[in-house]
Amino acid sequence: MNKELNKDELAEFQQFVEGITPLTQDKRHFRPPATSRKQLEVKEVQIQADSYFSDIYQPLLPVQGPMRWCREDVDAMETKRLRRGDYIPELLLDLHGYRQTEAKLEIAALIHACIQSHLLCCCVMHGHGSGVLKQQVPMWLAQHPQIKAFHQAPKEWGGDAALLVLVDIGDRPHRR
């Protein structure tokens, strides 16, 4: 029910609101809280691990002799340099006691750290154990686009229980 205001009430209302300014509209939008840089890096590494590493893909790896692999566009001499120990690994990753899913994330984080720190060579120690990681780690490394080559490590870096990995850091200068 709408009541019509009589002239006295209307005049009284106008007198009452005289000099009042309207409130300004608050244009603040509510957004989700910003994620920290650390959380973004962890999420990026996890996405990379999920997207690059497949348990189904079977690259052509040697059956006999030391474990080795070289990307097609990389000189085979790089594999020989890894075997001889010309490259000294600057980062070591020990996967002893890790499950496959944890190992995937750690390998992705290692590759990411090498690229961020401009490190050309790293060492992944998978151990002997039941042989699951020893079999899977080379397959995962061969799938990653930033891996140039890898070779079974020399004795001083773990022998047949480790791999020396050559990482593609792009056009950035590196030291050997």
pLDDT (mean) for 118-123: 95
Tens digit of each residue's pLDDT (9 = 90 or more) over 25-72: 777 777 777 778 888 888 887 777 677 888 888 888 988 999 999 999
Q: How far is CA 139 from CA 8, 19, 38, 60, 69, in A?
A: 89, 77, 28, 9, 10
The pLDDT value given to residue 58: 86
pLDDT (mean) for 133-156: 94
Q: How far apart are CA 147 and CA 168, in angstroms?
A: 6
Q: How far apart are CA 100 and CA 137, in angstroms?
A: 9
pLDDT at residue 172 greater than cutoff 70: no
Dmax (CA) for the chain in angstroms is 105
How would residue 124 be classed by pLDDT, with cut points 50, 70 and 90?
very high
The pLDDT value given to residue 48: 72
pLDDT at residue 5 greater than cutoff 70: no
How would residue 146 be classed by pLDDT, with cut points 50, 70 and 90?
very high
The pLDDT value given to residue 1: 38
pLDDT at residue 3 greater than cutoff 80: no
Instruction: Report the 3 state secondary structure along 29-42.
Output: CCCCCCCCHHHHHH
Domain extents in the chain? 37-167
Percent of the chain at pLDDT > 70 equals: 94
Q: How far apart are CA 133 and CA 152, in angstroms?
A: 14
Q: How far apart are CA 75 and CA 149, in angstroms?
A: 9
Please say whether the beta carbons of 110 and 122 come within 8 A. Answer: yes
| Strands in the chain per DSSP E | 68-70, 91-94, 121-125, 147-152, 162-167
The pLDDT value given to residue 54: 83
What average pLDDT is seen over the chain? Answer: 87
Whether domain 37-167 has CATH 1.20.1250.20: no
Tens digit of each residue's pLDDT (9 = 90 or more) over 82-116: 999 899 999 999 999 999 988 998 999 999 899 99
